[in-house]
Structure 1
Amino acid sequence: MEKKFVLGIDLGTSNSAVTLCDLESGESRVVEVTQILAPNQVGERKSLPSAVYLPSESEFSAEAISLPWESSDRNQIVGTFAREHGAQVPDRLVTSAKSWLSNPHVDPQSPVLPWNSEIGEQKLSAVEASRRYLEHLKNGVLYAERLEGREWNLGEGQVVLTVPASFDEVARKLTSDAAAAAGLPEPILLEEPQAAFYAWTDKVGNEWRKQVQAGDVILVCDVGGGTADFSLIAVSEEQGNLAVERIAVGEHILLGGDNMDLALAYALQAQLEDEGTEIDDWQFLALVHGASQAKAKLFEDGSLTELPISVPSRGSSLFAGTVSTTLTRETLNAVVVDGFFALSGPTEMPEEDGGAALQEFGLPYAADAVVSKHLARFLARSLQNVKGSESLSALIANPEQALAGELLKPTAVLFNGGVFKADSIRARVMELLASWCEVAPRELQGFQPDLAVAKGAASYGRNRVTGQGIRIRAGTARSYYLGLESSRPAVPGFKPPIKAVCVVPQGMEEGTSHTLEGRTFGLVTGKPAVFRFFASEIRGGDQPGDLVNKADKVLEETSKLEITLPPMEAFPEGQPIPVFLNSVVTELGSLELWMQHVDSDRKWKVEFQVRMD
């Protein structure tokens, strides 16, 4: 069916947004999403807070929280009122579902949210919460468009859904599954830093070709509400035209604006305690909310030196027990700018966990809150990745300068994420990078901190459908490997080292496959067998079939899968069957691993696991 429009969806950790591109007119617009703003009040907002509130049985009447469309989730609230009201009843508020999708220690399909809540059967899984956000976005956008006299058939639309560049393949697949369950047909996934780049090129138009040149390495620095996401994009020249390629992605770092709000609240709590005032847990949550609002206003208006914050109690009188304090610009800069974006050295890496034997179990938040150190680690790992690949190294101008020392040196920076709305934070990051690089990188002008990802998703979808406009060459963000058992005589007390064979090289594009021809492997069928999967973000030079020794030491083991594959006639149970390995990246970006018998058409497919159970 011919596509008539594109929906670009930013499914954010804290806030989500949608841009619609009308392919006939070429117009793109951020669609305000219809949502509940207060009991008996429905309205539109440019973003949808990524929050679900699970009300108790008698908390609200059905009419008070009804939406202007039919929904199977009418007893729950999504969006603005969910977040505002849920701040007062946190054990019924689901947030950060996106972060839970990528948690390697908790099944994202198990109903565990709100985490540590005791509300019982009402709990949601991370996948289900994501489905509800996406279904609400879909219904809210279609309804808001209908109010303006525009009707859309989803079957005639292309959906582009963004994910962090640091998401592993399982988290990407779960996001895609949630979208399909929400009624969004065949969503295409796009990495958020790439979406920000597409939005930037759209906004500045042909000017983008004047701001960058062949040989440039652009650091896309994306710090949002819940995550810090880094990518590097290289600019090259092909037949007189500029081309762009993503050459490195960072690790998944749960560190963002929410951490900054929390740090400010702790500083203000200490301020109150110095004045002899104690606050309870409920008031502290209100203090976090107040600190967040004051932070945004102080960063937005440089003429302000301080802002008052009032924290009410839950007494019978509205102002009973109200506690007041003040957030000063001095405290704001000390906690956020100097604390999270410290002028650290290029060799200062993030500190690891404290090593306590018992820790509170939950989301794997970054142990070190200094974004500067995580950026240094990303650039150090990127240097290792690019140096290991001749094709990637060839994209770098002045490699003797850019690839010298401890870090890969970017030549330009594109900011993204709400944190970088603050001029002082952008300036601090540029100062930090200048101290690391012989030649200071330049800031690309025209960034859009809040809605760029949704806008860029729509731009990418338009380019993909029409075949026009730029396309970032990307493919898989990591290389993937399959563990092998060494063929050698058994030796008492000696465990043979683990080898791994590369089955998916970094950068393998959608709709392509690799067969490891000339290499035969023995596949055990008819009895339980273990498959070990590994990955790497820093071995950009590895090709399909390359062997890696001591895989458990130099690669990241992502999962072990024990399964019994159907046996094959003429081969006794447990006898290895000679097979070729074939890896496939589908058009939608999912990974498949096939093993084909060398002398027949018999095949076995193993789900490509890329995360520990």
Structure 2
Amino acid sequence: MSEKHESSADAAQSPPRYVVGIDLGTTNCAMCYVDTSQPEWQVATFRIPQWVDLGQIEKRETLPSFHYELTPSEAGGQNTGQSTAQEGGLGWQSDTDARSSCVGVLARDAGARHPGRRINSAKSWLSHDGVDRTADFLPWHGDADVPRMSPVAASAKYLDHLRGAWDDAFPDHPLNEQDVVITLPASFDEVARELTIKAAKQAGLKRVYLIEEPQAAFYAWINGHRKDWTDLVRPGQLILVCDIGGGTTDLTLIRVRPAGADNDQVQFHRVAVGRHLILGGDNMDLAVAKLAEAKLNADSGTGPPSASQWDRMVQAARSVKESMLDPGRGDTFTLHVAAEGAKLLSGAIQVELTADEIDATLLDGFFPRVKLSDRPSRQQSGFQEFGLPYAADPAVTRHLAEFLSEHRRSGIDQQDTESADRPDLVLFNGGVLAAPAIRQRIVDSLRDWFEKPGETWQPQVLASPRLDLAVARGAAYYAMVRRGQGVRIAANLGRSYYMQVQHDPPAALCLIPGDAEAGQKFRADDHPLHLQVGAPVQFPLWVSSTRLADRVGQLVSIDPNEMSALPPICTALVRGRRREETELNVCIESELSEIGTVGMYCVDAEHGKRWKLEFDIRSTLETDRDAHTGSGEMGGVVDSDTVEACADAIQSTFGDDADVKPNQIVKRLESITESGRNDWPPTLIRELWQFMADHETGRRKTPAHEARWLNLAGFCLRPGYGVAVDDWRVQQMWRLLHGRLAFPASQSRTESMIMWRRIAGGLTAGQQQQLAAPMLATLRSKSRRIEPHEANEFWRLVASLERLDVRQKIELGDIALKEFGRKKNVRLRPALLWALGRLGGRQPAYGPLNTTVPVDKAQSWIESLIAIAPPESDVPLTIVQLGRKTGDRYRDINESTRQRAVDYLRSRQADDHFISLIREGGTLDRDEQTAVFGDSLPLGIRLGR
């Protein structure tokens, strides 16, 4: 399964001399290649030059997947002159790049000392559907002075280093002119696949193919057994590829079939792929670190380590894991964490762990002996330290039992009595499976599950001597297979794709069947759909690796146990006036690229016009995870007659022949709907917003019209997310209004601030920055001042921009606290308290967790408020926001500050729920959410967390 991105001119040229395989791993990258000019071609390993220490460069077979921002002292020590990078250094790097950052061994090791300056697990983030994977937020919980980058950009950095190293070694055959095969987990979703291609393009690679890692691992085995592989397998056998790396667990089944009726040759058919599991070596490191933490607390009672100590403890745990899973291990291992700062030896942490404790944590915790009928837990994982959605159940063997129960008969016809329904052969891949004890535990589990009474059986393990290089070697071998040389694995899609077309009951159309092959196109026209031209439309997308018999166009019930949600696909055409709207009968056409990514189109059934449907990646943000369940839409539906009456009322206020005063429109709408505006359901208010947008020019009639238009439009679009295609609506508001007020009146400025605050959750980080820039300039300037009658909304708006960077939030919070102490700001104090709570909140209302203000700053703000002891009734809620317990050591205040906050709240006779939120954590009730948001929230929509 592959995809090629090249121009037609490239295609017309002769094939390049080299083919290159790149393992873009969670923990390590590797690069192998074939010189196709050699008649007896072999797969060779490219040794990658990299910094291994300050001022020291070596060539290694792997490149650790870490990016590190050097400290000023390290940068000065590594390069002392303008030409250092060219004299014995990484010759392809500019001096500026060499001075600022690095990837590889030095990045990994220096990052263990300064974890806030290091990016790791970028590949896991690339597959995280709960964040905007194109946004700059890594390193997670990084130091304030470290530039952030996206998972895509971090992945591109590793690929760029490989490209530079290759070009330096082969200047006559640059990598961007060679065929490059990049590996990725078989379970990567469509967005992660597309973003991998995007990272390759950012690194300057043009001729790129993708292959799934388990297939690459099997290709590597074939390559290593070119002379005897036909003696090791036979038709009917089932091969399990178990791939457990630093970040993911990938399970694949390959069935061995005869090449033909009269042929002794065999073919390999990939018949099943497991669910995407963020479960691997990183989780095991966390488990060992948690074991060490628990022993430390039990032995010394010192309490949990600081966030920075914890980072170093996790790094030390990796060494413990690797040493204690080695056959030659000792009885104990001492985990050592160096002291912080000036504490020297007195601040060091040492914990002795025994072999039995490690076995209980790693073998019994991740590879327990379970029954074939056991199933993994679906509850939330306890491993949330780094913000990644780790698999809910860490027991790999339970996931394996579920996978084999569902798929071990995949690819067997009813007439087929020869094919096995148990894995005869097992191929291990990934760094975790370098440990013999783990491999043996899996083999023992398979024997326990499938050994028949009276039989002595266990699966045969296919030997793969270099697990760290196998995937890159297999990728290079596959590149030769694409040229007609070598043994090919036949692989159909192994996943079925569906588009949700109704919510109650939830049902979906099958768009691409599980037996699809690369290059096929499909048309689902058995159930015509209706597309309203001129309006945004969105369809949630689902994928299943178990429902492989569904056919294209089949309408099926959605079962979350059998299907997984993907980002929805959406389109939005320019909407004209309502009388120009039309509704068309459409069908969905879809196509499968060579890597299994999908392309979808709405097609006018009568005229053939096509509209491209794009993945709505932003809908997968933390704030908008409900798109598939339709939580906003489920808030209630208003009948069409009432909706039309509301449309007429809005037209009579903002239309060409308006005869209703703008200050009367809300009461008129409440009268029509027979309900107060806070009770209008999301479906209605989004319709009202669209009617307001249709009559946007009506705000230009008078200042009063503009003020009322801004107020009502913002109210109807609040909180900027929660209903399908809200991101499109917010973009329309930005296009119509940013910097485009019709009247300079104070009322228009104030209402525009209210409007932006209400929909801030739907604004991008760049848009929030544009809004904040002039506001920050005003606060920093001694000569510029905020008009008193606008100051409340000024502060509420700037504090609601949760996607601002941490340094800006700290600056704003410090200014707010300073202004709070000025006597002239008595009337402004409630707004300043509200702003301080939003800026320093431990649980953002909608923003990404990586922009949370550091815990020491939140603690200082709590201490300052307690010391001031202001009389305002809003103080307790602000302290709750600043100190609410989350269970995340990077965000939670220390116990002494927590106790002072609890004592203060009790002295203020605060609600018991406030005390509970500080002490134990939990969720805000609806009134508390309203207070934090600054407005009532639409029915059915909650704050992000």
Same fold at TM > 0.5:
yes
Distance 1:555 1:609, change over 3 A: farther
Inter-partner Cα distance in structure 1 for 2:616 and 2:233: 38
Q: Determine helix, strand or coil for the equivalent of 2:226.
A: helix
Q: Determine helix, strand or coil for the equivalent of 1:457.
A: helix
Q: Which has the higher contact order (CA 8 A, sep 6+)?
A: 1
Alignment-derived partner of residue 461 in structure 2 = 444
Inter-partner Cα distance in structure 2 for 1:423 and 1:397: 34
1:333 aligns with 2:359: yes
Alignment-derived partner of residue 524 in structure 1 = 532
Amino acid at match of 2:250: D
| Preserved contact between residue 169 and residue 610 of structure 1 (Cα < 8 Å) | no
Inter-partner Cα distance in structure 1 for 2:494 and 2:334: 45
Deviation at 1:566, TM superposition (A): 6.3
Identify which of 322, 336, 346 aligns with 1:296: 322
Identify which of 56, 75, 78 aligns with 1:60: 75
Q: Determine helix, strand or coil for the equivalent of 1:335.
A: helix
Inter-partner Cα distance in structure 2 for 1:225 and 1:420: 10
Amino acid at match of 2:42: E
Q: Determine helix, strand or coil for the equivalent of 2:325.
A: helix
Alignment-derived partner of residue 473 in structure 1 = 490
5 Å-filtered alignment, 1:32-431, equals 32-56=47-71, 59-61=74-76, 63=79, 66=85, 67-71=90-94, 73-74=97-98, 75-119=100-144, 122-143=147-168, 145-146=169-170, 151-239=172-260, 240=263, 241-276=265-300, 278=302, 280-281=305-306, 282-302=308-328, 304-314=330-340, 323-353=349-379, 362-382=387-407, 392-393=412-413, 398=418, 402=421, 409-431=422-444
| Preserved contact between residue 140 and residue 386 of structure 2 (Cα < 8 Å) | no
Deviation at 1:69, TM superposition (A): 1.3
Query: Which string of whole-angstrom CA distances, capped at 9 and with x for unpartnered residues, describes residues 394-422 of structure 1?
Result: 697556x72xxxxxx32221111111112
| Preserved contact between residue 482 and residue 500 of structure 1 (Cα < 8 Å) | yes
Deviation at 1:244, TM superposition (A): 1.2
Amino acid at match of 2:315: H
Deviation at 1:47, TM superposition (A): 0.9
| Preserved contact between residue 308 and residue 326 of structure 1 (Cα < 8 Å) | yes
Query: Which string of whole-angstrom CA distances, capped at 9 and with x for unpartnered residues, describes residues 272-299 of structure 1?
Result: 4555485843444444333422432443
Alignment-derived partner of residue 607 in structure 1 = 614
How many residue pairs were aligned? Answer: 584
**TM-score (ref. length: structure 1):** 0.87
Inter-partner Cα distance in structure 1 for 2:476 and 2:329: 36
Amino acid at match of 1:63: N
Alignment-derived partner of residue 405 in structure 1 = none
Alignment-derived partner of residue 547 in structure 1 = 555
1:506 aligns with 2:514: yes
Q: Determine helix, strand or coil for the equivalent of 2:289.
A: helix
Amino acid at match of 2:236: G
Inter-partner Cα distance in structure 2 for 1:376 and 1:351: 13
Alignment-derived partner of residue 848 in structure 2 = none
Q: CA RMSD in A?
A: 3.1
| Preserved contact between residue 113 and residue 125 of structure 1 (Cα < 8 Å) | yes
Deviation at 1:428, TM superposition (A): 0.9
| Preserved contact between residue 500 and residue 551 of structure 1 (Cα < 8 Å) | no
Query: Which string of whole-angstrom CA distances, capped at 9 and with x for unpartnered residues, describes residues 360-389 of structure 1?
Result: 782101222221112112223325xx56xx
**TM-score (ref. length: structure 2):** 0.57
Q: Which moved more, 1:61-70 or 1:240-249?
A: 61-70
| Preserved contact between residue 236 and residue 395 of structure 1 (Cα < 8 Å) | no
Distance 1:317 1:392, change over 3 A: same
Unaligned runs of 5+ in 2: 1-12, 621-945
1:581 aligns with 2:598: no
Inter-partner Cα distance in structure 2 for 1:441 and 1:507: 30
Deviation at 1:303, TM superposition (A): 6.4
Query: Which string of whole-angstrom CA distances, capped at 9 and with x for unpartnered residues, describes residues 102-124 of structure 1?
Result: 11110001111111335267111
Deviation at 1:265, TM superposition (A): 2.9
Query: Which string of whole-angstrom CA distances, capped at 9 and with x for unpartnered residues, describes residues 522-580 of structure 1?
Result: 43322222323222111111222222134678633323345323699xx9855432344
Distance 1:297 1:128, change over 3 A: same
Inter-partner Cα distance in structure 1 for 2:313 and 2:572: 54
Deviation at 1:178, TM superposition (A): 0.5
| Preserved contact between residue 250 and residue 277 of structure 2 (Cα < 8 Å) | yes
Amino acid at match of 1:171: A
Q: Which moved more, 1:515-524 or 1:449-458?
A: 515-524
Deviation at 1:392, TM superposition (A): 4.8
1:590 aligns with 2:613: no
Inter-partner Cα distance in structure 1 for 2:206 and 2:392: 38
Inter-partner Cα distance in structure 2 for 1:609 and 1:288: 35
Q: Determine helix, strand or coil for the equivalent of 1:483.
A: strand
Deviation at 1:96, TM superposition (A): 0.8
Inter-partner Cα distance in structure 1 for 2:566 and 2:341: 51
5 Å-filtered alignment, 1:555-574, equals 555-565=563-573, 573-574=580-581
Query: Which string of whole-angstrom CA distances, capped at 9 and with x for unpartnered residues, describes residues 279-331 of structure 1?
Result: 84344444433342243244344364444544332466976655545444333
| Preserved contact between residue 211 and residue 444 of structure 1 (Cα < 8 Å) | no
Inter-partner Cα distance in structure 2 for 1:419 and 1:395: 39
Q: Which moved more, 1:417-426 or 1:546-555?
A: 546-555
| Preserved contact between residue 216 and residue 396 of structure 1 (Cα < 8 Å) | no
Q: Which moved more, 1:546-555 or 1:186-195?
A: 546-555
Deviation at 1:588, TM superposition (A): 5.2
Inter-partner Cα distance in structure 1 for 2:560 and 2:437: 43
Inter-partner Cα distance in structure 1 for 2:292 and 2:416: 46
Deviation at 1:498, TM superposition (A): 3.5
Amino acid at match of 1:371: V
Amino acid at match of 2:533: T
Query: Which string of whole-angstrom CA distances, capped at 9 and with x for unpartnered residues, describes residues 184-243 of structure 1?
Result: 113111111111000011112242222222121111111111211111111111222211
Identify which of 544, 549, 554 aligns with 1:536: 544
Inter-partner Cα distance in structure 2 for 1:270 and 1:533: 42
Relative to its length, the structure with more strand (as a share) is 1
Inter-partner Cα distance in structure 2 for 1:552 and 1:84: 42
| Preserved contact between residue 52 and residue 95 of structure 1 (Cα < 8 Å) | yes
Q: Determine helix, strand or coil for the equivalent of 1:381.
A: helix
Distance 1:545 1:97, change over 3 A: same
Deviation at 1:610, TM superposition (A): 8.7
Inter-partner Cα distance in structure 1 for 2:575 and 2:523: 22
Q: Determine helix, strand or coil for the equivalent of 2:141.
A: coil
Deviation at 1:247, TM superposition (A): 1.3
Distance 1:582 1:458, change over 3 A: same
Query: Which string of whole-angstrom CA distances, capped at 9 and with x for unpartnered residues, describes residues 507-528 of structure 1?
Result: 4222221234666444332222
Q: Determine helix, strand or coil for the equivalent of 1:117.
A: coil
Amino acid at match of 1:420: L
Query: Which string of whole-angstrom CA distances, capped at 9 and with x for unpartnered residues, describes residues 147-196 of structure 1?
Result: xxx74233541110011111001100001110111011131111111110
Distance 1:467 1:567, change over 3 A: farther
Inter-partner Cα distance in structure 2 for 1:538 and 1:226: 24
Q: Which moved more, 1:210-219 or 1:4-13?
A: 210-219
Relative to its length, the structure with more helix (as a share) is 2
Unaligned runs of 5+ in 1: 403-408, 486-494
Q: Which moved more, 1:438-447 or 1:1-10?
A: 438-447
Amino acid at match of 1:173: E
Inter-partner Cα distance in structure 2 for 1:266 and 1:588: 39
1:457 aligns with 2:475: yes
> Could you tell me the percent identity over the aligned residues?
36
| Preserved contact between residue 92 and residue 119 of structure 1 (Cα < 8 Å) | no
Inter-partner Cα distance in structure 1 for 2:600 and 2:439: 43
